[in-house]
Amino acid sequence: MASDNNTADYDNLQELSESDFEIVDGQPEIFGWDVCDIHKNKVGEVYELLFDPKRRKVRYIIVDMESNDVDLEEGRVLVPIEIAEFDLDKDTVKLPGVSVTNLLALPLYEKGRVINEDTDDEIRIALAKAEKDAPIPPGSLNVGQTKFYLKNEGFIAGDDNA
């Protein structure tokens, strides 16, 4: 499937560590960084980055929830990189507006999983869920109107032979 700057290309997503690419100089290597939710709870660690080699752009952080402070079950979930904030001083990925409720609703990631528009829909629905027992209204993140993959900022995977 051919893509332009306005269309998500799902056919060629790759795990960064299994590719011939690497994070460009000057960008942080976030593998293994703690991931924290809206309440500053550790909810997991950065396991992998899923990227589009044609655009040389990371699309998802794969969060491994095995090591967490909130009794989440083990598993890996897809988090769009555009919603993450990076604390370079503490080597931490923050997910503002994301609660345990949202994480539990995110699609699980396994190597070889088909990622497509349905996956994006699952993610948008999960991120719009109101936090259990908290007064956060559904849709407070406006993820329904967000185009996750058109942002010009964020991490860029560069060819290590360049």
pLDDT in tens, 2-41: 444 445 667 789 999 999 988 888 888 999 999 999 999 9
The CATH homologous superfamily to which domain 28-132 belongs is Photosynthetic Reaction Center, subunit H, domain 2 (3.90.50.10)
CA angle at residue 25 from 93 to 113, to 5 degrees? 55
Burial 33-56 (b: 16+ CB within 10 A, else e): bbbbbbeeebbbbbbbbbbbbebe
Q: Where are the domains of the chain?
A: 28-132
The string of pLDDT tens digits covering residues 43-57 is 999 999 999 988 889
